[in-house]
Chains A and B, each alone.
Chain A
Amino acid sequence: DVKVTQSSRYLVKRTGEKVFLECVQDMDHENMFWYRQDPGLGLRLIYFSYDVKMKEKGDIPEGYSVSREKKERFSLILESASTNQTSMYLCASSFPDRNQPQHFGDGTRLSIL
């Protein structure tokens, strides 16, 4: 089975801190994604990566950056955390074909105080 592992299930940080969310997949997927999930808004794409060191902005990239140094690992970085970044963050991965579903991690519930 495909395994997408997010480093933390719950995380509490303070305003202004630099926050790292880590995601690792074990299926050699080329594509990796970071989403933000908020009630009533569904899933919104923050960033995605289609290869090592390659990235593309999603719909809501402001305040975030990403890093993909190795194929299996995709990190989401909040440069200076703010309270409006309190949310559920989901990582996903997939093969680069339109018929391939994305496989999701368990999510990280991030609270910024």
Chain B
Amino acid sequence: AQTVTQSQPEMSVQEAETVTLSCTYDTSESDYYLFWYKQPPSRQMILVIRQEAYKQQNATENRFSVNFQKAAKSFSLKISDSQLGDAAMYFCSHSGGSNYKLTFGKGTLLTVNP
């Protein structure tokens, strides 16, 4: 069975600083993708960034980047220059197996302090 573990239920960061959210996963698949989703308070869940397992290069989207360590099955999200609008629940997820279902972690609630 595939599992995704987010070990930090809550994190906080000062505005303009950098924060890293941790995620580890377990899978027997060799071909898979990893995603970070963001769910702002009372708003829609949206994709932040995705990583292809066969690519060694870490994905980057503006202020968001990942540290993908395939051997360690680790997929952390780094948010640089944190903004108040980054405050949200962040979910790490893994796609693999049949019919491209996603397995989600339990989420990390990020607070951004002004």
A residues near B, CB below 8 A? 31, 33, 35, 40-45, 48, 50, 56, 58, 90, 92, 94, 96-102, 104-107
Contact = CB atoms under 8 A, between A and B. Distances in A.
Contacts, number: 54
Contacts of B101: 33, 45, 48, 58
A8 B104 CA distance: 24
Given A31-B99, A104-B44, A98 B104 contact: no
A94 B100 contact: yes
Nearest to A51: B99
A45 B101 CA distance: 9
Contacts of B91: 42-43
A105 B44 CA distance: 6
Interface in B84-114: 91, 95-96, 99-102, 104-107
A37 to B, nearest CB: 9
A21 B17 CA distance: 41
Of B6, B99, B106, most buried by chain A (CB within 10 Å of CB) is: B99
Interface of B: 6, 9, 31-33, 35, 37, 43-47, 50, 52, 91, 95-96, 99-102, 104-107
B104 A42 contact: yes
A98 to B, nearest CB: 5
Contact of A99 (B37, B43, B46, B52): B52
29 contacts: A31-B99, A31-B100, A33-B101, A33-B102, A35-B104, A40-B9, A40-B106, A41-B106, A42-B105, A42-B106, A42-B107, A43-B91, A43-B104, A50-B99, A92-B45, A94-B100, A96-B99, A96-B100, A97-B100, A98-B31, A98-B33, A98-B95, A98-B96, A98-B100, A101-B50, A104-B45, A104-B46, A106-B44, A107-B44
B45 A90 contact: yes
Q: Most chain-B Cβ atoms within 10 A of its Cβ — which of A33, A102, A105, A107?
A: A102
Nearest to A104: B45
A96 B101 CA distance: 9
Nearest to B32: A98
